[in-house]
Structure 1
């Protein structure tokens, strides 16, 4: 393997959302030699790029790590499929494409928890805008007002990360939005201003009807740079930790399985772990950074005893299904061969219609009860229904109203099951483990019923198919949530950042691993608390901010 460069300034482990942005930013200076290591294949699989293709990517080893959770007590012992992107672009190649930042209070709380003002909303906003290319600023002005000041204050234009309006609408979704307004939810045309309360269609990361993943956004412009090397189908076996000056430790590189051989690659400046909330803790633990009892149980030398893999947080969505009458849903449109042919033709010629659909089209953010100070529920509403993800659509017209608790208080873990890097880790989300989470689950199902009972929805004579109106009590609804709820694919927090004196924090506020020089973690695992919304674009904000610190040596 002598043809390979064995030394780089930066080694980025993980070619997902954070890794792609970092590779672009760090290689922009031709003096920096950068290696990007991705365990999956290039993002050349056609279904990655067609929006509805997530149906063929999730649960497919071509693009998915194919993880499962451990049996979960809160889900009445169920095991969930736990998709994670395994290709260039990572989860941005298989996710729901929803552009969502969360709430300003999330980032102000991060600043409080870490003691670092760079994480507050005002400063996070600058990092969001730095890579945005928002459609509302395409013509320099908001067409509704003739002014661009409102959106230019909140959004960026000309960056790599394209944000567009969805290329479809459904009458049944429009009526659901009307019903939410009748219940007291305000309409919104921007979920990303710092307060996402309201109801409206989600903006999506697409370009002209195609999925816009981070590989296309950030790697494509940088691939011709001579100082950027990209390895795909290359999996990190472990990090190399060595003693440094005065008894300290330093990460000097990584052992990488590439082309059938184990190759040690040295990092002159930093190793940056961007493998995600599941694989980053796994790599750290196998490398000797993690809970000492766990590492010793697997015969791993303990370099740093740290709570790696703890603090796992995720959004659990509860899927309620309603039969409807007198309206068009995807169940009926896609029922016949003719209907499917028309769907294909619409996408082929217009890049619109059901094949351009994100998994969820309409969103709403509300409070589960009036005592809450902020929106703590997120709705994903779809003009379709099925028994479970990956199964066929129902043969009756129906819609799905999924609702999730944005601020769960339950915490789970990610732990290695052996010292072999090829063994999948044990993922234990520990959903619905707290009384508050169970109460929010019950209240959210009641709120779904309240919206569906509003006059605007009654014209479709909605009939609750799942979970069923026979379930009414808190205990019944919480148990039913365990029976029908599923992950919304937002795991975070397993390598959390915090103050230097915080014993629960693995990282300092600049994302450096405490106790090991030359090693930083940059992905969704660093979040001390989960954001109040979808997690992909916040991960890009994290990477944008980290790139500045890395380049300036902070």
Structure 2
């Protein structure tokens, strides 16, 4: 019997487990489908290059064939270990734009989800090694945010090339302005990955009232009379059930894919779709799984004319051995690289009111999410549309909880998204052609200089665009009756059940989603513990919603 059952030990779940188990009178269960985060590939930052191949630490999902991407199925890596995707991601620390959270507040009819509140939470959670305590940053929190220990010269030259193309330098993407190019800050500590598990679970896992169940797959939320009473799970070949104490809660933190899947398996979703899959309808909630948004990404690649990049070649062996020594004994060197060392934010067209394109520059080749080895020395530029209008959904392939869910992102279904990608592609190419980067180039590998016309660029995007791993929105939060969860993240129509993860975002943030997901959990824990009250707006007309201050 537990007071809180948290399903998913990812970016959000680890924060919740820490905060909710701080009260020693409350018993907390944290359930993770994957193993404990013991792999050295997790903790050594450059290990990210191999984590995409791991089927033990990675859900390794695939989408449905994408109509607007030449019918291709896209690979969707998601973390499957303590720390979730924060244990396999590129560690880039980005909060998003203030306007993102102002929109959340408008949807929640409460500034509990507005920028002022969320920025305060970001600062409270943060331990920023460079900026310390400032208007925009905090120090002393559990989440270590630092500069990269070692930066490849090409990453700095990418930033210089932006300046040659009239793109300003930005030394802090989480400061006064998001626009510009610069080096990313990362969630690392002493040259090692600082995942949500490292930050929030390590200090809490020894508490006697917190039970962590790894390698345990939740198959259903148990619901009696429209009230969550526990969960069923499979651990190995055995099935068991965890029950709630009176007044306890089940909290889904499986992310934008697994949380809606579990709601659907539990009979919460669109009644017609559930009936077709043979799942008894517990509660008709049509938006479960809908409203999914993701950042679609296209890459440019160049062969380098030197051995400065990180490469796979016999000539790299001495440097690799030196890098291993530097990492093991000094926590420095290229093995501390997050690979995506520099980048930034630009507008696809001058008339935009804020940046809508993000770059991630990698001083190495990266093909097929790192699943294909590219020999030699080169560099890669990732270019993504931050504010896509296309929307997709998560559904069920079958009623078997062991099956992967149906993933339909519906990329480029809105024609405006394609126009943004074309404009962003051209900007990225011009940066790589600027003198500071052209000095490193032997030739353009992808797409190659023969791709110049509008039609050629469109064809290249449709054949090569991929996710950059930021799906959200499938359990949308809102004050309206149609939303999946209310502003306190309670599932509508079901008592004692909440969703706390990236799936509740009403709209995708303009940036990487890891830090915002942790902040969502921090805010949710305050709400659950009664430290913040949100106005109950479930019966208020959406056109007449009041905006209340957090108390």
TM-score, normalising length: structure 1:
0.92
SS in 2 for 1:165: coil
Give the match for residue 218 of structure 2: 236
Partner of 2:549: none
Q: Offset of 1:41 from its aligned partner?
A: 1.0
Deviation at 1:172, TM superposition (A): 2.0
Within a 5 Å distance, the mapping from 1:500-539 to structure 2 comes to 500-501=480-481, 503=482, 505-539=483-517
* Alignment gaps of 5+ in structure 1: 1-6, 139-150, 244-248
Alignment partner of 1:253 is 2:230? yes
Aligned match of 1:4: none
CA distance in 1, matches of 2:170, 2:298: 23
| Residue 303 of structure 1, CA deviation | 1.9
**4+ residue runs over 4 A deviation:** 332-335
Q: 1:187 aligns with which of 156, 160, 169?
A: 169
Match among 45, 61, 64 for residue 39 of structure 2: 45
Q: 1:539 to 1:391 in 2, by over 3 A?
A: closer
Contact 2:313–2:376 (Cα < 8 Å) also in 1? no
- 2:299 counterpart of 1:319: yes
- SS of match in other structure, 2:272: helix
Gap change, CA 1:320 and 1:259, over 3 Å in 2? closer
Q: CA deviation at 1:235?
A: 1.2
Counterpart CA distance in 1 for 2:455 and 2:270 is: 36
Deviation at 1:442, TM superposition (A): 0.8
Q: Distance in 2 between matches of 1:334 and 1:349?
A: 24
Query: Secondary structure in 2 aligned to 1:109?
Result: helix
CA distance in 1, matches of 2:368, 2:207: 44
Larger mean Cα displacement after TM superposition, 52-61 or 83-92: 52-61
> Which sits farther off after the overlay, 28-37 or 189-198?
189-198
Spell out, residue by residue over 1:326-378, the C-alpha distance to the aligned partner (whole angstroms, 9 max, x if none). 56111277744323222222222322222111030001110111111111110
Matches within 5 A, 1:424-503: 424-461=404-441, 463-501=443-481, 503=482
520, 524, 529: which one pairs with 1:546? Answer: 524
Q: Distance between the aligned counterparts of 1:125 and 1:331, measured in 2?
A: 39
SS in 1 for 2:157: helix
Q: Distance in 2 between matches of 1:417 and 1:18?
A: 26
| 1:522-543 deviation line (CA, Å, top 9, x unaligned) | 0000011100000001000000
Equivalences for 1:66-465 in 2 at 5 Å? Answer: 66-137=60-131, 151-193=133-175, 195-243=177-225, 249-258=226-235, 260-268=237-245, 269-306=248-285, 307-326=287-306, 328-331=308-311, 335-391=315-371, 394-461=374-441, 463-465=443-445
Kept in 2, the 8 Å contact 1:14–1:38? The answer is yes
Residues 251 and 328 of structure 1: CA distance in aligned 2, closer, same or farther (over 3 Å): same
* Matching residue of 2:13: 19
CA distance in 2, matches of 1:403, 1:329: 19
Matched residue SS, 2:71:
coil
How far 1:461 sits from its partner (Å)?
4.6
Q: 1:258 and 1:398 mapped to 2: Cα distance? A: 44
List runs of 5+ in structure 2 lacking aligned partners: 534-551
Q: Residue in 2 aligned with 1:34?
A: 28
Deviation at 1:261, TM superposition (A): 2.8
